Amino acid sequence: MSIPVYDWIRFHAEGQPGKLAAVDVESGRRLTYAQFNDRVTRLARGLSEKFGIAKGDRVAVLAPNSTDQMEVQFAAQKLGFIYLDWRLAVPELEYISRDGTPALLVFHASMRDPALQIAERAGIPATLEMTDGGESAYEQLIARSQPEQLPSPSLTHDDPWSIIYTSGTTGRPKGALLTHGQMFYNDLHCALHMALSPPSVSLTFLPMFHVGGLCVYLAPTVHFGGTNYVMRGFDAAVALRLLADQSTGITHGFAVPTNLIMIEQLPGFAEADFSHLVSVGIGGAAPSPTLLATYNKKGMNLQHAWGMTETATLGTVLSPDKATEKIGAAGRPVLHTQIRIVDTGGNVCGPGAVGELQIKGPTVTPGYWNKPDANAASFVDGGWFRTGDAAVCDADGYYTIVDRWKDMYISGGENVYPAEIENVLYQINTVAECAVIGIPHDKWGEVGRAFIVLKAGAETTAEAVQAHCRSQLARYKVPTEVRFIVELPHNATGKVTKHALPKT
Ligand code: AMP
């Protein structure tokens, strides 16, 4: 029997109407559960009555993070439409809107031009503009709608709640379906493995169009009736202030490594006290052991996790008591979930062998929207999802992510995983951020090129960097070229986009 979907915010509005549900950091707006539920109920009603939105329709959102965006996400839970959130890469938007065929585009005023252009080009029938609580079509829709809830659609855990487009660094972006059931189980995993609970207060600065913003920990915090602080986007100084400020009561946050690299370089970092934080997750890209050790020393309760859009985030989590002993590992599989490592010949590997990480469980996507070929290629052996990540499991069952398969290069016949070299570069205390890629080479086939951003005012030379690598790595792994640059390219989630680094 399929499990029905329950209306979380209505439940909390009835049980704890005065509890703070959400704070919009940029505009200062604060919503109790009663207010949040009232606005979302009216919004759902308005979307149904004015735009004819119904179960299964797609509603797209193009906006920076805000509590308004949370309202659209949760109106989808009440009305059963599929929330289609977009990455902000403008050239991809038209493709995505043709693929996702939304019935409505909700956009923030700051993105009016691209939003209207895309709506016209892709034939999206209606648009709705929101500001940050100011006069807007969005606010009018809410104000003019009735506060009584429409009859609930018959939704089950198998119905999609969101479509999140994966980055598409190779080929076209693919829309991963995230069902109500996937989100439900991810919420349980946040509770079990990251101690998220009703008193939790979460800080979100990763984009809500990515699972890093949506699934850790925004949606689960609503599920448990906690409080969400929503930042418009990542701002290192604001994030540091909020994480260190005990008066906000913030207990949880989730970051990609670049976020914590930037926070660590702020002058206020040395004095900041993070001991009140229950759990700060780090994942989405490989954090270096040097970075993890810096935060462990500060007593931040940093929890390394591995996950991806297609797994509604958490796939593995490192428990806090293993933070030092297993530093660098992304932990063990979350409850309800199986993970295996498979070699290129399709054989399941034992401990110590590098292979592709494959995952099976209730947080794994049922598939991509509109992509039968990708779906056929992504699942093997009765439902194991192929992640494209190279990983290794140790004898205790702890998984370390070695790298993306596609980022590996071959130098003189040897496999080189750039993440291993980057970890060594991070040991150099003048290095703020770095990335290594393979470039073509006449003799060795491929060799490494390191891109390094130095800390403010710091100096070093390519020779000194290579000398350090030689002391730590086999010769074929030492980058033959070292380039110092001002900034690495990042995507909107804050991850380094290696494909944008020059190969020539
Ligand atoms: P996305 O779907 O955009 O969230 O990207 C998911 C990918 O991020 C994974 O397939 C991994 O390649 C990478 N990733 C996530 N967590 C980690 C981690 N802890 N260490 C290394 N890579 C990670």
Mean pLDDT of 456-481: 96
The band of 326, judged by pLDDT with boundaries at 50, 70 and 90, is: very high
What is the CA 423 to chain-centroid distance, rounded? Answer: 22
In the chain, what are the helix, strand and coil shares in percent, each to the nearest 5?
Answer: 35, 25, 40
* Residue 389 Cβ < 6 Å to ligand 1: yes
**C-alpha angle 334-308-321 in degrees, rounded to nearest 5:** 40
Q: Which of 220-224, 233-237, 397-401, 498-502 has the lowest average pLDDT? A: 498-502
At 491 the pLDDT is 87
When pLDDT is averaged across residues 97-113 and rounded to a whole number, the result is 94
Q: For residues 175-204, give the mean pLDDT.
A: 98
| pLDDT tens string 68-92 | 999 999 999 999 999 987 655 566 7
CA distance 400 to 153: 42
Name the residue with the closest Cα to ligand 1, atom 6.
Answer: 308
User: Ligand 1: distance of its center to the CA of 54 in Å?
Assistant: 34
- Determine the pLDDT at residue 286: 93
Q: What is the pLDDT of residue 173?
A: 83
The SS3 of residue 490 is strand
pTM of the entire predicted model: 0.94
The predicted structure's pLDDT at residue 278: 97
Q: CB within 8 A of 279, min separation 6: which ones?
A: 194, 195, 196, 251, 252, 301, 303, 320
Q: Rounded to whole angstroms, how far apart are CA atoms 250 and 66?
A: 17
Question: What pLDDT was estimated at residue 171?
Answer: 66
Mean pLDDT of the chain: 95
Ligand 1 atom closest to residue 212's alpha carbon, by position in its atom list: 4
Match 């590997």 to its residue by tokens: 349
Residue 20 CB–ligand 1 contact under 6 Å: no
pLDDT on residue 223 = 98
Site to substitute for ligand 1 among 389, 422, 491, most atoms within 8 A of C-beta:
389
